């Protein structure tokens, strides 16, 4: 029998949701003050309106749902699911007021793409979007990459066990520090330190490339926020191709790679444990996967003689491969070139790289390389059980910060989430084909959306059917939360309508 949620359940969910919305309202003050600094008064007012709406919504929920009770697991998952939907709508308000979006649905698509660090975009006339609104487009991925609930954990939640539920609900299983609040604040600390260093590196590179200093550091900050958080948004419509600079692209490649690493691994590196990067199953599997997919891509591109020179293959081929594998989505080619020039083999290599993704507990999306490593080891273990005597079999171990025994539970969990992603990729492909797009293009775009990559082969545009826009929004949301919070909200809604 399914039990119907009680009023107290709704109050707890509403109370914590209100806190998270207040955290989002706080972040809108940054573009508001930036607008004043840039002397863009109307855009600044757009964010004042957006922040005011978010503050009213947050305080309203906290007031009518005030409670001293803590979250249980189900409530925590539901708060996370709803907070991403609420953040999508509230973040869209100032962008919609900019007049650069065809509809509010397009604006919601943009903000969900940003929050989930995907990078697919429906903005119109991006090159003339105000500096203030453009800054928000890049700040949204910086918030979403660290986690919307992380904002609340850092600012409004103090030492409650409910903090752990919110943290895990955002698809983060690893506690870097014993206290979950300290873990959230550490994630923000390293992100801000990297933001300063990355902005300096990109800004100086931009100045050397002929960009005016203020503009260079503005572009540097935007590119870093979207690059480190593997989102792929850029201030200009040509994306990274706009800069026409090999040094700029090399700096971005390092930023993408750093953003794709596990925050726990960053903590180890910060504490001087540099050997971990060579011993960890994630980094080793990621390196092997990048090399294998690039080899396949290189063969495909070489067959068609797309990039005959090594430097061109590196800047166009390897850059795209690394961008796709880290689920960043930065591009140094035009969208339709994937279809008109690359050929099927190179395109399939890119789809595989996007589908796998990068490290767990990072800003990257996709199946995650840790799960790929676990599944491979489990497969190897099963082969051993078939061909070797029982007495000769030793339980497999792998190293991920510490030595971990490979149990059936771990392997089963990795397989279940992997299967869920494959189903999600397939469902999006079916909708794309139903809307009249070719199969391989629909698969490419669906994988890009569900794995939170942001590459497009030309399907994502303001003229695509609304049903496909909604499909990609759901895919981006489900892919970012890695299904558990999504399953929780489905179960909760089922209990609301069918429970007794």
Question: pLDDT of 39-85, one tens digit each?
Answer: 999 999 999 999 999 999 999 999 998 887 777 777 878 888 898 99
Q: Supply the pLDDT for residue 171.
A: 55
Find, among 151, 135, 140, 155, the residue nearest to 33 by Cα: 135
Q: Supply the pLDDT for residue 72.
A: 76
Q: Supply the pLDDT for residue 1.
A: 46
Q: Supply the pLDDT for residue 32.
A: 96
Name the token pair of 396.
């497999």
Of 3.40.50, 1.20.1440, 2.60.40, 1.10.287, the CATH number of 404-498 is 1.10.287
User: What distance in Å separates the CA atoms of residue 381 and residue 173, rounded to the nearest whole number?
Assistant: 25
Question: pLDDT of 77-96, one tens digit each?
Answer: 888 889 899 999 999 999 99
Q: Supply the pLDDT for residue 79.
A: 85
Q: Supply the pLDDT for residue 363.
A: 84
State yes or no: pLDDT of 152 exceeds 80: no
Q: Supply the pLDDT for residue 116.
A: 93
> Residues 447, 354: contact at Cβ < 8 Å?
yes
State yes or no: pLDDT of 249 exceeds 60: yes
Find, among 416, 421, 464, 463, the residue nearest to 442 by Cα: 464
Parse the chain into domains and list their residue ranges. Answer: 1-173, 404-498
Query: Which residues is 399 bridged to in the sheet?
Result: 403
State yes or no: pLDDT of 38 exceeds 90: yes
DSSP states along 257-297: HHHTS-HHHHHHHHTT-TTHHHH-HHHHHHHHHHHHHHHHH
Determine the 3-state secondary structure of 402 from DSSP.
Answer: strand
Name the token pair of 241.
């191709």
Separation of first and last alpha carbons in the chain: 7
State yes or no: pLDDT of 496 exceeds 90: no
- CA atoms within a 13 Å half-sphere pointing along the CA-CB vector of 187: 34
């Amino acid at each position: 029998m399914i039990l119907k949620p009680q009023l107290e359940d709704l109050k707890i969910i509403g109370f914590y949701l209100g806190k998270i919305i207040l955290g989002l309202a706080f972040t809108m003050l940054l573009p508001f003050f930036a607008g004043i600094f840039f002397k863009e008064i109307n855009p600044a007012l757009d964010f004042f309106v957006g922040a005011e709406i978010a503050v009213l919504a947050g305080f309203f929920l906290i007031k009518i749902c005030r409670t001293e009770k803590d979250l249980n697991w189900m409530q925590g998952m539901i708060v996370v699911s709803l907070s991403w939907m609420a953040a999508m709508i509230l973040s869209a308000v100032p962008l919609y007021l900019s007049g650069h979006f065809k509809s509010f649905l397009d604006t919601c698509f943009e903000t969900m793409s940003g929050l989930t660090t995907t990078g697919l975009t429906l903005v119109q006339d991006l090159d003339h979007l105000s500096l203030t609104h453009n800054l928000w487009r890049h700040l949204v991925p910086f918030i979403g990459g660290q986690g919307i609930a992380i904002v609340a954990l850092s600012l409004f939640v103090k030492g409650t066990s409910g903090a752990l539920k919110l943290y895990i609900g955002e698809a983060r299983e690893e506690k870097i520090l014993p206290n979950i609040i300290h873990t959230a604040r550490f994630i923000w600390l390293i992100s801000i330190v990297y933001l300063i260093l990355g902005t300096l590196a990109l800004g100086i590179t931009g100045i050397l490339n002929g960009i005016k200093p203020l503009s260079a550091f503005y572009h540097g900050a935007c590119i870093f926020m979207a690059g480190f958080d593997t989102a792929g948004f850029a201030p200009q419509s040509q994306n990274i191709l706009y800069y026409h600079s090999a040094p700029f692209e090399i700096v971005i490649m390092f930023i993408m790679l750093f953003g794709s690493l596990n925050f726990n691994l960053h903590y180890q590196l910060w504490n001087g444990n540099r050997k971990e990067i060579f011993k960890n199953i994630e980094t080793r599997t990621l390196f092997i996967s990048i090399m294998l997919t690039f080899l396949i891509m290189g063969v495909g591109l070489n067959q068609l003689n797309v990039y005959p020179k090594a430097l061109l293959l590196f800047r166009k081929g390897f850059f795209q491969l690394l961008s796709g594998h880290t689920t960043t989505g930065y591009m140094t080619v035009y969208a339709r070139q994937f279809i008109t020039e690359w050929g099927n083999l190179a395109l399939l290599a890119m789809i595989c790289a996007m589908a796998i993704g990068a490290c767990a507990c990072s800003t990257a999306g996709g199946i995650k390389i840790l799960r790929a490593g676990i599944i491979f080891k489990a497969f190897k273990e099963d082969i051993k059980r078939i061909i070797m005597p029982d007495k000769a079999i030793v339980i497999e171990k792998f190293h991920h910060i510490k030595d971990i025994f490979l149990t059936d539970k771990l392997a089963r969990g990795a397989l279940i989430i992997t299967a869920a992603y494959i189903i999600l990729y397939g469902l999006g492909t079916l909708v794309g084909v139903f809307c009249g797009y070719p199969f391989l293009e629909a698969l490419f775009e669906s994988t890009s959306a569900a794995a939170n990559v942001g590459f497009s082969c030309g399907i994502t545009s303001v003229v695509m059917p609304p049903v496909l826009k909604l499909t990609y929004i759901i895919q981006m949301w489900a892919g970012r939360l890695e299904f558990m919070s999504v399953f929780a909200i489905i179960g909760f809604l089922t209990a609301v309508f069918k429970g007794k």
